[in-house]
C-alpha cells in the first residue's frame, strides 16, 4: 500500500510551530498511536485544534506532559486538569470556540469557504470583537475557517487506496479534520482491500489522505482502547 | 425544601419528561437532563447526541460497552432502531439549523426575561463551552432543568445575569424542584408551585420578578 | 407508517407563490411522482430552486408546460428548450447560480448559516453587486443561504420512521434540499422496516422528513424511470 | 489544419492525457475532455464527477445502464474499485477546497494571461453555468482542451476576452490541435507546435501574443 507509513515516519513531517488539526471527542476517535509517536518527536510550540485535550496523560493530554504545546483551540478543556494548570501557569494559550462553530470552521477550511455567518455565540464573550450582521432581523456573527499544516485522524479501517471508514460516534470531528490540513495522516486499526468498503460507507475519500498508519500500540478490550506492552519495540 | 436531594432531581426530571411529546427530537444536556429517559413512560423520543448520533438507545450492560459509541457526556450508549450516524459538522448543522425540537439544559442562572447563563462563572477559569451555545442558538424550544438555588443557597433565577450569558436566545421554560415557570413576551410566569410551598416562600428563593398564572397549579 | 401520504395529499400543502426546493440532477434523483401530482394541483406562481428544470415535458419540465412557474433558480437551464423559450418570452424569470454555490447555499439554509464567503464566481457577471472581501490576499464573494417553503426530494428507500437511503449519484442535491425546506416531502420507491437501513447509510435522518410518498407512477426499466400506464387511476 | 476533425479532437485528448500523472484526481469537463480516458494507457486516474462521485469507471454496456449512476455530462457510468459517493455540497467542497488536482475544461476563449471564458456568449441567452466556475476557482491545475479557432474561424486564443470570464483564476495550460501553450507569470509560452506548421502560421490563427519556449517541440 503506497500511503502506508510507520507512525514515526509520518509524524516526522510535523515541524515546530505547526498548527495540528486532530480528530476525536475526548478519547473517542482520537489518533492515539500518532499522538504517542508525536511525543517522541522533537516538534515543539505546536498549536492543536481539537475539541478537547484528551485526559490527563492520555491522548492529546500527553502533549501537555511532553510540553510540546503552545496553544490549544477547541471547545472543552475543563475536564483535563493538566490543561487547566498549564493555562493558569501561562504555559498554554487557550482559545475557546463553541463546539458547532469548531466543526463548521474546520469544514469551511477544507471546503474553500473563508468565513461564514452563524447564530451561535451571538451576544456572548466568545465572539467579542467579531463582526456582527443581521439577516432577516436575526443577529449573526462572522466566523473564520480553520486550516492547519497537518491533520491527524482516526478511523477504524482504511482500504489500500486510503479511503476511510469511521466507527459509530468515533467519527465525530474526523471527517472535517481530514479535509482541512495540508498533510493528512490517518491512523487505522485495519487495512482492507480496495472495494471492501462500500461507496456509501466511505467517510473520507482517499484523495484527502496522504499517509495511513496502522495502530500497533493500542488494542480494544472491553470496548476501550488499551495501551499494549510496548516492550517489544 | 431548599436542599437539593436526589428526590428533587428526580422530581425535576419527571416534570420535564411530562412536558415532552411522543416523537420529539430532544437533546439532553449533562446533569439532571440525563435522568429524564427513565421517566418517559411509553412516550418515545428521538435523542440527539451532538457528537454525531440521532437515536440514543438504552445504556448498555457493562460487557457490551463500546467507547466508540458514546453520548456527548462521554457515557457509553447504544443505538435505537432507526438511529443514524453523522459527523460533528452535520450534527451541529442539525442543531443550529433548527431541526431539534427541544434542548433540555442545565443552567447556572436564568434572568426574568429568560436569558440563560450556562457555561461560565466569573472569576473562575473559562476553559469549556462545549455545545451549550449551539443548542441555545438552535433548538426550537429550550427547557432549563435546574435546582432552584445554588449549593450555597444563592438565587439562580434572578433579575439580571451576573454570569456570562450563553447567547441572545432565551429560555421557554424553567423547571426546578420548587416551581415551574414559562416565559411569554419576556415575562416570567409562575405556572406551577410545589405542594406546601407558598408564593411568599418562592419570592424569597427567587430574585427575579414573576407574575402568577391565573391557572396556577399548586400541587407540583 | 405515520408519515405516509398519497402524492396528492402531500402536494396540497404547496401554495401559490411558494418557493420549492427540488432535488435531482436532470432527471436523476428527481421526484417525478411528486412533480406530476403538482401539475394536477392548483398552486401557481411558484419559484423552483433546482439544478435544472428537467427536460422538455419531463420532470420539472412539466411545470413549464402546466405554466405553474414564475421563477427558476439553479445552475443549468440551457438543455431544456422550453425553459429558454419561456425566459425569452418573459414568462419565466431565471436566476443563475454556480452549481457548487447552489449546493452550498442549500446546505447553509438548512444548517443555520445565513451567508458565507466563497471563491466561486469572483470576477464574473454572476456575482455583480454582491459583497466582495479578501481573505489571506484572495478575493471572495458573500453568498446567501437558500430556504424554501416546501422541499421535494427523491430517495430509493425510506424506513418506517422516514429515514432516507439514496441511490448512487441520484443522491446529488437531495440531502441538502431535505434540510432547507419548512415542509419536506420525500418520494421513494420502497418503504422498509425501521432498522433495515444501516445507521451509516442513512443519507437523510428522519427528523428532516415530514411526509413520505410512494412512487406509484414510474417503474425502472433498462436503468431508466419509465412512466406507467396510469389508466387504472 | 484549421478544420476541426475527429482526428484533431483525438490529438488534443491524447496530448492532455500525456500531461496527466498516475494517481491524479481529475475532473473532466464536457466535450473533448470526455475522450481522454481512452488514451491513458496504463496510467490510472481518479475521476471526480461533480454530481457526487469519486472514481468513475468504464462506460457500462447498454444492458447495464443505470441512470441513477451518471456523470456530470448525464452519461451512464460505472464505479471503479474504491469509488465513493457523496452529496452535491460535499462534491463541491472537494472541488472548491482544492482537493482536485486537475480540471480539464473546454473554453470559448482564453486570453494571453490565461484568463478563461467558458460559460457564456454575449448576445446569446445566458441560462447555464453548471460547475464551470467552481472548477475554475477550485482545481489545483487547469488545462484547457479546445479547438484552436471557432467554427467560423475566429481566434479563440486572444489578447483580451470579449466573452464573459469564468473567474479570476487563470489557466495553467492550453492544448489545441495546433499547439500547446503554458502560462508562467501571466505570460503565454508556446511549448509545442504541430508538425509542418510554422510559427508564422500559428501567429495568424492566434490573436494573443505568446513567447516561444527555447525548448520548443516542433513535432506535436
pLDDT per position as a tens digit, B190-211: 999 999 899 999 999 999 999 9
Cβ of A110 within 8 Å of Cβ of D93? The answer is yes
pLDDT at residue number D29: 86
Which chain C residues touch A140 with a CB distance below 8 Å? Answer: 114-115
Q: If you average pLDDT over residues A80-95, what whole number do you get?
A: 96
Q: Let me know if B50 is a catalytic residue.
A: yes
Chain A interface includes C176 (CB < 8 A): no
- Given a cut of 80, whether residue D204 has pLDDT beyond it is yes
* Domain boundaries, position B140: 6-217
Which chain A residues touch C113 with a CB distance below 8 Å? Answer: 104, 116-118
**D153 assigned to some structural domain:** yes
C-alpha distance from D1 to closest chain C C-alpha (Å): 32
For A55-69, C160-174, D48-62, D116-130, which range has the lowest pLDDT when averaged over its residues? Answer: D116-130
pLDDT at residue number C230: 57
ipTM metric: 0.96
**A194 assigned to some structural domain:** yes
Cα separation, D71 vs D76, in Å, equals 6
Which chain B residues touch C205 with a CB distance below 8 Å? Answer: 54, 84, 86, 94
C138-144 and C113-118 as β-strands: parallel, antiparallel, unpaired?
antiparallel
C 107-136: CB under 8 A from D: 107, 118-126
Domain count, chain C: 1
Beta-bridged to residue D212, according to DSSP, are D190
Which chain C residues touch B86 with a CB distance below 8 Å? Answer: 205
**C227 assigned to some structural domain:** no
Strands (E), chain A: 4-5, 19-22, 46-49, 69-74, 93-96, 113-118, 132-135, 138-144, 148-159, 164-165, 181-192, 211-214, 218-221, 224-227
C-alpha distance from D135 to closest chain A C-alpha (Å): 12
Confidence class for position D38, pLDDT limits 50, 70, 90: confident
Cβ of A140 within 8 Å of Cβ of C114? The answer is yes
User: Burial of A7 by CB count in 10 Å (0-12 exposed, 13-18 middle, 19+ buried)?
Assistant: buried
Strands (E), D6-130: 25-28, 46-49, 53-57, 78-85, 102-105, 109-111, 116-117
The pTM score is: 0.97
Closest-CA residue of C relative to A135 is: C114
**B1 assigned to some structural domain:** no
How many CA atoms are closer than 13 Å to the CA of C171, on its beta-carbon side?
A: 27
Cell triple for residue D109? 476563449
Which chain C residues touch D165 with a CB distance below 8 Å? Answer: 123-124
pLDDT at residue number A232: 45
Task: Give the nearest partner residue to D82 out of A109, A159, A208, using CB atoms.
Answer: A159
Cβ contacts of residue B125 below 8 Å, gap of 6+? A78, A84, A87, A88
Q: Name the average pLDDT for chain D.
A: 94
* Other CB atoms within 10 A of residue D65 CB: 18
Task: Give the nearest partner residue to A163 out of D82, D96, D97, using CB atoms.
Answer: D82
Can you tell me whether residue B18 is helix, strand or coil? helix
Confidence class for position B1, pLDDT limits 50, 70, 90: very low
Cα separation, B190 vs A83, in Å, equals 42
* Other CB atoms within 10 A of residue B24 CB: 18
- Given a cut of 80, whether residue D91 has pLDDT beyond it is yes
Tens of pLDDT, residue by residue over B155-197, are: 999 999 999 999 999 999 999 999 999 999 889 999 999 998 9
Chain C interface includes A112 (CB < 8 A): yes
Task: Give the nearest partner residue to B93 out of C110, C161, C199, using CB atoms.
Answer: C110
First to last CA, chain B: 13
CB-based contact B140:B173 (threshold 8 Å): no
Which residue bears the cell 449551539? B134
Which residue bears the cell 470576477? C123
Residue C31 CA to its chain's centroid (Å): 8
Domain count, chain D: 1
* Other CB atoms within 10 A of residue A101 CB: 28
pLDDT at residue number A233: 42
- Dmax over CA atoms of chain C, in Å, equals 64
- Dmax over CA atoms of chain B, in Å, equals 53
Neighbour-count burial for C44-82, b at 16+ CB within 10 Å, e otherwise: eebbbbbbbbbbbebbbbbbbeeebbbebbbbbbbbbeb
Catalytic residue among D19, D50, D192, D215: D50
Distances (CA, A) of C173 to A226, C30, C104, C208, D84: 42, 10, 10, 15, 16
C-alpha angle with apex C132: C127 to C137, nearest 5 degrees? Answer: 125
C-alpha distance from B33 to closest chain C C-alpha (Å): 21
**D1 assigned to some structural domain:** no
Residue A124 CA to its chain's centroid (Å): 26
The enclosing H or E element of C32 equals helix C32-39
* Other CB atoms within 10 A of residue B55 CB: 27
Q: Name the average pLDDT for chain A.
A: 96
Q: What is the CA radius of gyration of chain C?
A: 18
| Residue of A115, A131, A167, A175 best to disrupt the C interface, most CBs of C under 10 A | A115
Which residue bears the cell 427547557? B143
* CATH number where D24 lies: 3.40.1080.10
* CATH number where A119 lies: 3.40.1080.10
Tell me if there are at least 3 CB pairs under 8 Å linking chains B and D.
Answer: no
C181-192 and C211-214 as β-strands: parallel, antiparallel, unpaired?
parallel
Cβ of A119 within 8 Å of Cβ of B137? The answer is yes
Cell triple for residue B187? 415575562
Q: Name the average pLDDT for chain C.
A: 96
* Domain boundaries, position A80: 4-217
A 52-91: CB under 8 A from B: 75-79, 83-84, 87-88
Cα separation, B202 vs B189, in Å, equals 13
Percent share of chain C, pLDDT over 90: 97
Q: If you average pLDDT over residues D195-199, what whole number do you get?
A: 92
Beta-bridged to residue D209, according to DSSP, are none
Cα separation, A103 vs A105, in Å, equals 6
Sheet holding D46-49, edge to edge: D78-85, D53-57, D46-49, D25-28, D102-105, D141-145, D173-175, D179-184, D187-193, D211-217
Which chain A residues touch D80 with a CB distance below 8 Å? Answer: none
Cα separation, B18 vs B43, in Å, equals 9
CB-based contact C114:C83 (threshold 8 Å): no
A113-118 and C113-118 as β-strands: parallel, antiparallel, unpaired?
antiparallel
First to last CA, chain C: 23
Confidence class for position D124, pLDDT limits 50, 70, 90: confident
C93-96 and C69-74 as β-strands: parallel, antiparallel, unpaired?
parallel
C-alpha distance from C164 to closest chain D C-alpha (Å): 13
CA torsion sign, A23 to A27 to A33 to A34? positive
Beta-bridged to residue D68, according to DSSP, are none
Cα separation, D132 vs D125, in Å, equals 17
Cα separation, D86 vs A198, in Å, equals 12
Amino acid at each position: 500500500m503506497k500511503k502506508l507509513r510507520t507512525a514515526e515516519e509520518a509524524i516526522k513531517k510535523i515541524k515546530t510551530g505547526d498548527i495540528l488539526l486532530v480528530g476525536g471527542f475526548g478519547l473517542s476517535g482520537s489518533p492515539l498511536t500518532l499522538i504517542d509517536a508525536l511525543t517522541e518527536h522533537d516538534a515543539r510550540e505546536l498549536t492543536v485544534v481539537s475539541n478537547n485535550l484528551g485526559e490527563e496523560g492520555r491522548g492529546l493530554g500527553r502533549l501537555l506532559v511532553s510540553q510540546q504545546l503552545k496553544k490549544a483551540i477547541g471547545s472543552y478543556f475543563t475536564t483535563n486538569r493538566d490543561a487547566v494548570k498549564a493555562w493558569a501557569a501561562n504555559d498554554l494559550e487557550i482559545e475557546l470556540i463553541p463546539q458547532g462553530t469548531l466543526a463548521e470552521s474546520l469544514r469551511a477550511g477544507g471546503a474553500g469557504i473563508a468565513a461564514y455567518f452563524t447564530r451561535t455565540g451571538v451576544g456572548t464573550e466568545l465572539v467579542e470583537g467579531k463582526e456582527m450582521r443581521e439577516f432577516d432581523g436575526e443577529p449573526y456573527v462572522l466566523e473564520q475557517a480553520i486550516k492547519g499544516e497537518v491533520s491527524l485522524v482516526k478511523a477504524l479501517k482504511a482500504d489500500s487506496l486510503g479511503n476511510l471508514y469511521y466507527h459509530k460516534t468515533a467519527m465525530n470531528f474526523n471527517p472535517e479534520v481530514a479535509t482541512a490540513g495540508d498533510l493528512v495522516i490517518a491512523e487505522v486499526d485495519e487495512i482492507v482491500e480496495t472495494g471492501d468498503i462500500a461507496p456509501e460507507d466511505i467517510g473520507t475519500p482517499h484523495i484527502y489522505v496522504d499517509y495511513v498508519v496502522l495502530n500497533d500500540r493500542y488494542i480494544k478490550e472491553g470496548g476501550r482502547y488499551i495501551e499494549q506492552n510496548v516492550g517489544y519495540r | 425544601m431548599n436542599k437539593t436531594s436526589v428526590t428533587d432531581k428526580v422530581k425535576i426530571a419527571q416534570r420535564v419528561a411530562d412536558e415532552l411529546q411522543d416523537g420529539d427530537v430532544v437533546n439532553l444536556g449533562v446533569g439532571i437532563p440525563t435522568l429524564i429517559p427513565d421517566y418517559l413512560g411509553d412516550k418515545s423520543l428521538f435523542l440527539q447526541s451532538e457528537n454525531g448520533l440521532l437515536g440514543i438507545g438504552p445504556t448498555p450492560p457493562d460487557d457490551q460497552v463500546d467507547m466508540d459509541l458514546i453520548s456527548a457526556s462521554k457515557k457509553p450508549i447504544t443505538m435505537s432502531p432507526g438511529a443514524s450516524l453523522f459527523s460533528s459538522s452535520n450534527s451541529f448543522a442539525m442543531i443550529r439549523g433548527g431541526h431539534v425540537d427541544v434542548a433540555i439544559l442545565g443552567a447556572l442562572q436564568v434572568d426574568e426575561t429568560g436569558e440563560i447563563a450556562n457555561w461560565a462563572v466569573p472569576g473562575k477559569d473559562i476553559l469549556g463551552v462545549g455545545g451549550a451555545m449551539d443548542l441555545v442558538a438552535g433548538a426550537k424550544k429550550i427547557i432549563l432543568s435546574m435546582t432552584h438555588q445554588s449549593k450555597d443557597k444563592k438565587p439562580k433565577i434572578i433579575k439580571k445575569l451576573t454570569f456570562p450569558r450563553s447567547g441572545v436566545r432565551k429560555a421557554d421554560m424553567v423547571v426546578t424542584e420548587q416551581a415551574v415557570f414559562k416565559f411569554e413576551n419576556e415575562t416570567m410566569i409562575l405556572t406551577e408551585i410545589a405542594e406546601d410551598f407558598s408564593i411568599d416562600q418562592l419570592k424569597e428563593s427567587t430574585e427575579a420578578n414573576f407574575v402568577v398564572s391565573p391557572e396556577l397549579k399548586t400541587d407540583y
